[in-house]
């Protein structure tokens, strides 16, 4: 009989296991608490340092004054201001000739280069002269025959005169012989005219330049037959030295021009390109038209230019400036320095301490980029020409000087302004 030995199992200690589980949760919680405290402390330190203003080291970083406003200035000067009348003009040759043939014939030779300067009398084109040479020889032969007949008629008339005195022939026979002599004399005159005409046609076969000027492109090639009645010419010659410019001015400006012209003054006229920057030529006024154009209210004027360098070209459009008056010994400033507002016209003048003074000015005449001032600016004052839109009374500036005309020049910075710059 087997005896069963009972197996006893140990019951877990409820309080002991629970204590072990409770101890593990408490350790993890304390770990998280430490992490949160560390993060909060770091954040606190960071925000307190960022928010706290940094105290600069006075010895390492000295306080610098604010820099001046950069501007460009030019100096007011004393000088003469020329007064001009401006207009749009057209270059016009004094003479333009279309070369044509005065005889019929074939072109044998063209003796010019297209575009060259030809002189009066130079051979341009040779037309076949042989037909005209034959006509000349025929006329000369006819003249020789008629001269012989004339000589015979004179001898016969002298003989008839003797016979008439001896009453051998009738008076009518003598008169008929005298009339025949007169016919031969008329024939001689006609023959001489035929010879002269043949020589003239022979001369016309050589086409020469009627004027001195620049010849254009060839219109007919060698080998072609030309006629005196052809509408198209052979070439065109235009005189380019001297050359004229035609332009118009308003009728209100005509009295100023008439006064100078009638006083014997030769008004200076300048021709410029379309940008009014490059002067092409300088000439003088010749005259003005005898009537005013009622449709435009303008009068035409004509000026002459030597054009030695061929800078002016026929039918070229140019800008014309005619000098009509000069203001002497006036204060001149660049036009760019002039400012306008509801208070009037003013400029900014740079003071010795590099501050600006707003001054009202009274303007005189203006020509291009230069204006005259009758009050408000003295010679030697520095007026602002660039950067004035950022200024007001008393503003401090950093000056870059320019020429009296307002053109940029090498930068010149005042020492006080340079020391104020950062």
Tell whether 135 and 117 lie within a shared domain: no
pLDDT of residue 46: 62
Q: Kindly report the number of other CB atoms within 10 A of residue 230's CB atom.
A: 15
What CA–CA distance (Å, rounded) separates 270 from 115? Answer: 26
Tell whether 192 and 139 lie within a shared domain: yes
What CA–CA distance (Å, rounded) separates 169 from 188? Answer: 28
- 59: in domain: no
- 45: in domain: no
Tell whether 214 and 115 lie within a shared domain: yes
CATH code: domain of residue 352:
2.40.420.20
Q: Both ends of the chain: CA-CA distance in Å?
A: 116
Tell whether 149 and 214 lie within a shared domain: no
Tell whether 415 and 332 lie within a shared domain: yes
Tell whether 75 and 122 lie within a shared domain: no
List the pLDDT tens digit at each of the 422 positions of the chain. Answer: 444 444 444 444 444 444 444 445 566 777 777 777 777 766 666 655 544 445 444 444 555 666 789 999 999 999 999 889 999 999 999 999 999 999 999 999 999 999 999 999 999 999 999 999 999 999 999 999 999 999 999 999 999 898 988 888 899 998 998 999 999 999 999 999 999 999 999 999 999 999 999 999 999 999 999 999 999 999 999 999 999 999 999 999 999 898 888 877 889 999 999 988 899 999 999 999 999 999 999 999 999 999 999 999 999 999 999 998 888 999 999 999 999 988 899 999 999 999 999 999 999 888 888 999 999 999 999 999 999 888 889 899 999 988 655 544 433 333 333 333 33
Tell whether 320 and 255 lie within a shared domain: yes
DSSP 312: S
- Domain ends where: 306, 326, 346? 326
What CA–CA distance (Å, rounded) separates 192 from 112? Answer: 35
- 155: in domain: yes
Q: Residue 198 has which token pair?
A: 């043949």
Integer-rounded Cα radius of gyration of the chain:
54
What CA–CA distance (Å, rounded) separates 291 from 182? Answer: 60
Tell whether 185 and 259 lie within a shared domain: no
Tell whether 284 and 319 lie within a shared domain: yes
- Domain ends where: 204, 222, 248? 204
Contact 143/188 with Cβ under 8 angstroms? yes
Tell whether 336 and 407 lie within a shared domain: yes
- 28: in domain: no
Tell whether 416 and 337 lie within a shared domain: yes
- 255: in domain: yes
Question: What's the domain count of the chain?
Answer: 4
Tell whether 116 and 219 lie within a shared domain: yes
Domain that holds residue 216: 102-127+206-230
DSSP 408: B
| SS3 call for 383 | strand
Residue 292 contacts by C-beta under 8 Å, 6 or more apart in sequence? Answer: 251, 254, 298, 299
- 176: in domain: yes
- Domain ends where: 326, 350, 365? 326
Residues for the chain: how many in total? Answer: 422
- Of the candidates 327, 326, 238, 244, the one whose C-alpha atom is nearest the C-alpha of residue 284 is 244
pLDDT of residue 20: 40
CATH code: domain of residue 116:
2.40.50.100
pLDDT of residue 337: 93
CATH code: domain of residue 322:
2.40.30.170
- 37: in domain: no
- 38: in domain: no
270 to each of 282, 304, 307, 381, 393, how far by Cα in Å?
A: 5, 10, 12, 32, 42
pLDDT of residue 35: 73
Q: Kindly report the number of other CB atoms within 10 A of residue 254's CB atom.
A: 16
């Amino acid at each position: 009989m087997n005896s069963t030995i009972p197996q006893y199992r140990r019951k877990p200690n409820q309080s002991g296991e629970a204590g072990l589980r409770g101890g593990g949760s408490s350790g993890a919680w304390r770990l998280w608490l430490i992490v949160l405290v560390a993060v909060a402390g770091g954040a606190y330190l960071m925000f307190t340092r960022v928010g706290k203003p940094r105290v600069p080291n006075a010895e390492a970083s000295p306080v610098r004054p604010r820099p001046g406003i950069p501007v460009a200035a030019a100096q007011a000067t004393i000088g003469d201001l020329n007064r001009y009348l401006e207009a749009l003009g057209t270059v016009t040759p004094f003479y333009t000739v279309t070369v044509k043939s005065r005889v019929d014939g074939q072109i044998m030779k063209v003796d010019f280069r297209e575009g060259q300067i030809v002189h009066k009398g130079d051979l341009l084109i040779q037309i076949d002269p042989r037909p005209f040479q034959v006509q000349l020889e025929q006329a000369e032969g006819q003249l020789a025959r008629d001269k012989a007949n004339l000589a015979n008629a004179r001898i016969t008339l002298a003989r008839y005169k003797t016979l008439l005195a001896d009453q051998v022939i009738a008076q009518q026979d003598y008169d008929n012989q005298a009339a025949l002599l007169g016919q031969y004399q008329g024939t001689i005159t006609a023959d001489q005219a035929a010879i002269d005409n043949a020589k003239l046609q022979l001369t016309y076969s050589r086409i020469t330049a009627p004027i001195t000027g620049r010849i254009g492109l060839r219109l007919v090639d060698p080998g072609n037959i030309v006629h005196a009645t052809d509408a198209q010419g052979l070439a065109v010659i235009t005189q380019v030295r001297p050359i004229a410019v035609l332009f118009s001015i308003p009728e209100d400006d005509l009295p100023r021009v008439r006064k100078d012209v009638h006083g014997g003054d030769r008004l200076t006229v300048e021709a410029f390109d379309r940008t009014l920057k490059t002067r092409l030529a300088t000439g003088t006024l010749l005259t003005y038209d005898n009537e005013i154009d009622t449709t435009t209210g303008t009068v035409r004027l004509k000026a002459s230019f030597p054009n030695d360098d061929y800078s002016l070209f026929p039918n070229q459009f140019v800008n014309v400036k005619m000098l009509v008056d000069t203001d002497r010994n006036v204060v001149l400033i660049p036009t760019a320095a002039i400012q306008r507002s509801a208070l009037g016209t003013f400029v900014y003048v740079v003071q010795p301490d590099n501050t600006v003074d707003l001054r009202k000015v009274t303007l005189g005449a203006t020509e291009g980029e230069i204006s005259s001032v009758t009050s408000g600016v003295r010679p030697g004052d520095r007026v602002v020409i660039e950067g004035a839109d950022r200024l007001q009374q008393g503003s401090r500036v950093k000056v870059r000087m320019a020429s009296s005309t307002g053109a940029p020049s090498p930068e010149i910075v005042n020492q006080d302004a340079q020391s104020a710059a950062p």
